[in-house]
Each structure stands twice: as C-alpha cells, then as structure tokens.
Structure 1
C-alpha cells in the first residue's frame, strides 16, 4: 500500500486537476492499480463484448481502454477536466468522454447502460444517496454496478482510535510520481455500504477481497514478501433490481 500520513494544513483535498499527470504516471504500472485494483474490476466485469458500459470517475482512462479492448462500448466521465483530457489522449479524439460529477445529475438518459464501473469513486463522498440513485437511473433493469472503495479496515489501521461504526472524514498525504497530493475520504462501515445499496434499489451480488493479479509477485517481490494477499480496497458487484417499490 502507498504510504500515508496526516494531511498538511491548508492543502486542497482531491484536487486531481493539479496532480492528474503524476497520478496517472504513478499508477500506470504500479502494484496497487495495475496489478490489483484494475484487474479485480475486470475480473468481476467478466465478458463485456457488446455491452454498453459507463466508466464513472474514469480518470485518465485505463479501465475504459481495457474494457474497450475487450469489446465493450464505453462512455466515461470524470469531475476532473484534466483527467478527461488525459483519457481523451489515451482513447482518441472520438471517445465518448464527459466532464461530470456523480453527485449531480448525469448527462445520460434513463436506462442507457448495461453496466456502470465506479472504481475508487464513492469513498470520496459523504452521502451516497444521490450518486447511487443516478447510477441506478442510467442502468437498464438487471444492469450491474461494479465498484471498489477503500476497505473499511484501512481507516482503523491508520486511525486505531477512530470509531469503525461512524461515517468519518479523514485525509492522507500521498506521493504520486514525486508529487505530493492530499486525498480526503469518507469512511463508512460495511453494513452502511450494503444498506445504502439496498435503499438505492440494488442487490449486492458479490463482495470481493481479491488477491493481486498473476505476475505481481514476480514484479514486486519486496512489497509482497511473506504475503498471500493484502487489504486495501473492497470490491462489489451490485445488480439493479427489476422492480422498485415506491
């Protein structure tokens, strides 16, 4: 896992426009993203050829590219204009990319997508009600949200004095390709996550704590020495229920 420390006073949290290039460079081939987070999402997505997929919080587009390579029809959005620019550089000028915020109404019609990917997005948000409602709205009946968030145990590992059962804001300073950046998250316990999914009209089909992808141990022998796996993110597959009670 990347090293973290308490955030510096006065720093702007989650300002991805200011460190988008450094973040992309750091995570292009690193253990946490390239050999853990992205492969886990792709494994959960399974066969995607011909499926309409929304990459919510697409960043610089590595998941969008991988899904497109597997035959999916991909639309992406991110709240960071710089990240969307980098994604367009990766995916091409004709890529269907938007600057949008999952906390606000999305520029897509009802039932437009078979799947939504929301990788490492919701843990930045205090309230999941509106975002989950929007993801549910743009999904076809029976569609899936395939998502990842910080594993709730991470908060307790970094802040052992913290209340696991409370929804709590916390910040950490990370270094991406030599550039410091402050990330601010919202911790919530597992039951609060699954309760929010149910309230939004989803069935929790999968909860996953995956191992690193094949090849990780050979490429990162020091980081994985003595470990069969590690706790970093928690992964879900949610299915949009076909009928909702009003």
Structure 2
C-alpha cells in the first residue's frame, strides 16, 4: 500500500481497521501500474527474490496477486494467502482456478507444515501489526533452514517526516486516509524504529542479510516526471525492504 496519503490523520481508532474487503477493487485497480506500487514496491521485492526457478514460495498477504503472478512467471511454485476474502477472490480471477490461494490471517497460526517453503514474501504487511512476535515466529516456522523472508514495510523515516513532533523511537499507531480509484479508505499502521524491526527479526530466528532503499523500476521517471522531478537519482523515501535468512 502507499506510504504517501491524501491526509495524515494521526493516531486514531476506526470501526473496522484495514477493511480491504470494502475497497479491494479500487485498491487493485489504483495500484496496478501506479508509481508507489506498480513501479516501486512490487518490482523491488521481485528483484530481491532473484532467480526463483523451482523454489517453493509463500506470498503472505498476496492481495489481488500481482507478486504471485510475477514470481510464478519466473518459475516459482507459489502459494498465496490474504486476510481479505475479496482480495483472494480478485487474485483467483487473475491467477486462475488452479492457483494455490486461501484466506488466512498472518496474525494466526498458518495451515502449512514446518519448513514447507524456500522463501516467504511479505510485501507491505507487517506494518499493520503492533506486535510482530507471533507473525515472525510463524513465518520462520514455515521456512526451511536457510530460507528467506523477503519483506517490505513503511519506511520509518517517513512517519517522522510527516509527524515531526512524534517520538521516532516509540511504537506508534497512526491512520491515514486514501482514495483508491474513487473508493475512500482508511489504513491504520504501526510505526516502529529501525532497531525495533531488526531486533524483532533476530528474536524470531532471522539474520538480516539485506536492507534496501532502491530506486523505482526503469521507466518510472518517464511515466511520472512530476513525482520524481526533485530526485536526481530517481530514488525517494517510501518503503524499506529486507531480505532475512532463517537460521
């Protein structure tokens, strides 16, 4: 999801947090080819995965299935899940009836055996959660020793830039408003500082091998000249990407 919102609402409680079922179609349409998702978040994760031919991969929080599709096209054997039934429905429409998809919550025990996967993708998922302990432990459980967790979250510096009076070093809840292809939505996140992320990875049995702040995919500058006009390199602050090794 985007890290740049229409308006920043600060810490807030909403009736149903992150109810993707209510705006799934709009989100899927809006993010298919936009800068933040289509030309940044998704290609960065796929690039970090590298050669995935024959690898068994889990797309945790698969949404409407674009990363699943990209990995499958590169020869991976992919399983995907999402907490939103509507997102899984859209993914099935995109990927075909035979795609291995299910509705599941990353915050609950997953229906997979120990060491079932070579890699797990968790793109723009964990920043919705206050406590990463159980989700990271579960993702570590379903990975083979030496397997990789490839993930992205909101860049912690973006929160501090948007909320200059906030405590960067605290774990802070905040909600932002968006419009996805005409559908209004409120997304609620948990900011945490970088050291809290890496500490959580280590406690769950991961070794951090890559921390990445990549530029957008080729062609982005031509398609989004106004958005990237101030960046000589083409890079910008939005998400932070990790590759973690299960030890």
- TM-score normalised to the size of structure 2? 0.95
Cα distance in 1, alignment partners of residues 47 and 191 from structure 2: 25
User: Which among 217, 234, 238 is matched to residue 244 of structure 2?
Assistant: 238
Partner of 2:7: 4
Shift of 1:116: 0.1
How many Å separate the matches in 1 of 2:16 and 2:5?
A: 19
CA RMSD of aligned residues (A): 1.2
Q: Which moved more, 1:226-235 or 1:9-18?
A: 9-18
- Residue of structure 2 in register with 1:29 after alignment: 33
TM-score (norm 1): 0.96
Q: CA deviation at 1:4?
A: 2.9
Q: Which runs of 4+ in 1 moved over 4 A?
A: 7-11
Length, aligned pairs only: 241
- Alignment match, 1:244: none
- 1:63 equivalent in alignment to 2:67: yes
In the alignment, which residue of structure 1 is the partner of 2:202?
A: 198
Q: Is the 8 A contact 2:5 2:176 kept in 1?
A: no
> How far has the Cα of 1:85 moved from its partner?
0.3
Cα shift at 1:155: 1.1
Structure 2 unpaired stretches of 5+ = none
SS class of match (1:197): helix
Query: Is 2:75 the counterpart of 1:84?
Result: no
Deviation at 1:226, TM superposition (A): 2.2
Q: Secondary structure at the match of 1:31?
A: coil
**Alignment partner, residue 106 of structure 1:** 110
> Are positions 1:169 and 2:173 aligned together?
yes
| Whole-Å separation in 1 of the counterparts to 2:131 and 2:84 | 20
Q: Check conservation: 1:4, 1:173, Cα contact below 8 A.
A: yes
Offset of 1:3 from its aligned partner? 2.8
Counterpart Cα distance in 1 of 2:164 and 2:151 = 26
| CA distance in structure 2 between the partners assigned to 1:10 and 1:143 by the alignment | 37
Gaps of 5+ in 1: 242-246
